[in-house]
A and B are shown apart, each in its own frame.
Chain A
Amino acid sequence: MSRAPRRRLVPAYLVTGGRQLTSRADLDRLSVLTLADAKLTETPEATAGIGPEHHRLCALLAPGSLSLVECAAHLGLPVSATVVVAADLIESGHLHARGPVPRAQEIDRSLVERLLVGLRTLR
């Protein structure tokens, strides 16, 4: 019984605020979120209309950028709910989102080998 995880009391859908949402194509799991302006989170009037989850996301990003999926893990929310929070903040100008870092291309093995050979001949 004690092994079983605690049943959650606060469901994640609360972040949607009952709005009809469309999934955002520009935000995926690996999008990098950056705080637009650190000052914005500290003035109370700038953050008047937003909920505690928005505060927490801004606070989380204050030291530096994080990917969306990392933010989700830190907030303890599903990624889909984190997307909603992030989209709100991007719309209000608190956050910037950048596409994911492109996957590194496969490096031409022969090129590396030739480079190695070249380096060895330098000695």
Chain B
Amino acid sequence: MTGAVLAALTTALVVLAGALWQRNRDLARLRAAEALARAVEAREMGTVRRLDAVTGELRRLARERVPAAAMALTHPHAPVPPPPSAGEIGPEAVAALNEALDAVLAALGEERERVDAAARASMRGATAKVQSLLYQIQSLLHELQHENDDLRLLELDFRNELALRRIQATAVLCEAWPGLARTDSPLAEVVRGAQSRVPGYQRIKVTNHLREQRLGVVARAAEPLAIALAELLANATAYSHPETEVPLTLQHGGGRGVFLVIDDAGIGMEEDALTRARRLLVGPEGLLLTELGNPPQAGFAVVGRLARQYGFTCHVEPSPYGGVRAMLRVPAEMLTVVEDEHDLSVLAPEPVQSRPTPTGREGHGVPVPGTGEPTPRRPVDVPEPDPDTARLPTRRRRAPRHQDAAAPADARTPARTPEEADARWSALQQGTVSGRNAVGGLPAPRAAGGRDHEGDEGT
């Protein structure tokens, strides 16, 4: 009996245990299924969120990043929004978005260059026509000036020259050639020619420190140099007060050619403007018209392009006069000596003859190809005999006679009236007396150079 009961109990227990186990298993399955469902749900939520983020980024690309990047092409200082973070939308999406932006920018850049090239080409055509017309006007004016004594013709010539400078600068900017071929031209004339193309040219004071008056610029570089110099002079006169002078100095740079130094006492340039100017003066490749601002500031770009093309260099820095100093270096290979048939213009600035240069130093001048000995032809008004001039034909025939005239003039100089001698000696005497009085009366000399004296005493 008990055995049967035990058996039945055992069976019941086993059945119960089996049922329990099955329930547990189902429960575990259920939990697993629930977890899976939650995980799937979570992942879906994540996907939806990412999709939203990507959509947001796409919208931001269209509304902010593309316009900002396009703006940054023309304005380097414009702020660029940051790229999307990889954490939210995943690295692939970031890469794809950036790729899209790059493609847009590349297309934009190409289009920009194409439009700019088209603009340059059309400008080139127009400037070439206008330039040749202006040259024709110039020739006519030149003829008229010799037939007619009206002063307004000179004025008209000046206006024509101003127009010509503008047109030429624009043409150079549009990659045209300078539009005029010259022969080897004396540097002094090139400088004077550049001066004549600038409004306010009377403020430019040229000082010629070259020892060789007939030092010239080789034919191919003469007109480009004049254009570049005119642009620099125009900058100097335009950005300084109309009452101030603009000194332009021609000086030897040892064996390194000739330096043309232009100073102005104007408003000067900020550091970033100087940086921009220096970048333009190197003559960068692929400079677009649209990069020059509105209205375009073409001066430095023109100088830079010509400098790169023809091999001279230009540098700008703050000037001791207060404004900007522009230095143009004409290398020795661009220099030559102009042959004697070329009559120098009477307007060409004469070399400053402050002191006789020792003959040994002549050799240190610019090594010019094709000149055996540098024998500087003296300007006509130097009253020393020049055997070269005597042999030259035509116009200079008056020069030798001038020596004869100079000799009696020298003889006449010592003759001095007693009144003159009296005036000079009494002036000298008064000067020494007043000097002694000043020294005796005042404890310390406080005249010129006082600052230096004080400094010496203080230390």
Chain A positions near chain B (C-beta within 8 angstroms): 6-19, 21-23, 28-29, 38-39, 41-42, 51-53, 55-56, 58-60, 62-63, 74-81, 83-84
Which residues 321-346 of B sit at the A interface, judged by CB distance below 8 A? Answer: 343, 345-346
Q: A6-B183, A38-B409, A52-B348 are in contact. Are A81 and B193 (CB under 8 A)?
A: no
* Chain A minimum-CB-distance residue to B208: A52
B349 adjacent to chain A (CB < 8 Å)? yes
How far, in whole Å, are A13 and B201 apart by their CA atoms in the complex?
11
B241 adjacent to chain A (CB < 8 Å)? no
**Chain B residue contacts of A21, Cβ below 8 A:** 151
B220 adjacent to chain A (CB < 8 Å)? no
- Point out the residue from B157, B185, B202, B381 that lies within 8 Å of A56, measured CB to CB: B381
* Chain B minimum-CB-distance residue to A11: B196
**Chain B residue contacts of A75, Cβ below 8 A:** 346
How far, in whole Å, are A75 and B247 apart by their CA atoms in the complex?
26
Contact indicator B406/A62 (Cβ below 8 Å):
yes
Contact indicator A23/B346 (Cβ below 8 Å):
no
Contact indicator A59/B381 (Cβ below 8 Å):
yes
Nearest 7 interchain pairs by C-beta:
A59-B381, A18-B202, A13-B154, A78-B145, A9-B193, A10-B345, A17-B202
Chain B residues bordering chain A, tally (CB within 8 A): 52
How far, in whole Å, are A81 and B157 apart by their CA atoms in the complex?
12
Contact indicator A52/B349 (Cβ below 8 Å):
yes
Q: A14-B196, A63-B401, A79-B149 are in contact. Are A7 and B346 (CB under 8 A)?
A: no
B413 adjacent to chain A (CB < 8 Å)? yes
- Point out the residue from B183, B185, B193, B405 that lies within 8 Å of A62, measured CB to CB: B405
Q: Specify which of A11, A53, A55 lies most central, judged by the most chain B CB atoms within 10 Å of its CB.
A: A11
Contact indicator A76/B150 (Cβ below 8 Å):
no
Contact indicator B182/A6 (Cβ below 8 Å):
yes
Contact indicator B154/A51 (Cβ below 8 Å):
no
How far, in whole Å, are A63 and B145 apart by their CA atoms in the complex?
28
Digitize B180-220: 1 where CB-to-A-CB distance is under 8 Å, 0 elsewhere. Answer: 10110100011011011000111000000000000000000
Which residues 103-145 of B sit at the A interface, judged by CB distance below 8 A? Answer: 135, 138-139, 142, 145
Contact indicator B404/A63 (Cβ below 8 Å):
yes
Contact indicator A42/B345 (Cβ below 8 Å):
no
Which residues 2-59 of B sit at the A interface, judged by CB distance below 8 A? Answer: none
Q: A49: shortest Cβ distance to chain B, in Å?
A: 11
Contact indicator A9/B154 (Cβ below 8 Å):
no
How far, in whole Å, are A62 and B413 apart by their CA atoms in the complex?
16
Contact indicator B180/A52 (Cβ below 8 Å):
no
B367 adjacent to chain A (CB < 8 Å)? no
New A-B pairs, 15, CB < 8 Å, besides A10-B189, A63-B398 = A9-B189, A10-B196, A11-B158, A13-B154, A13-B155, A14-B196, A16-B151, A23-B149, A42-B383, A55-B381, A56-B380, A60-B380, A63-B404, A80-B145, A83-B149
**Chain A residue contacts of B226, Cβ below 8 A:** 9
B153 adjacent to chain A (CB < 8 Å)? yes
Contact indicator B343/A7 (Cβ below 8 Å):
no
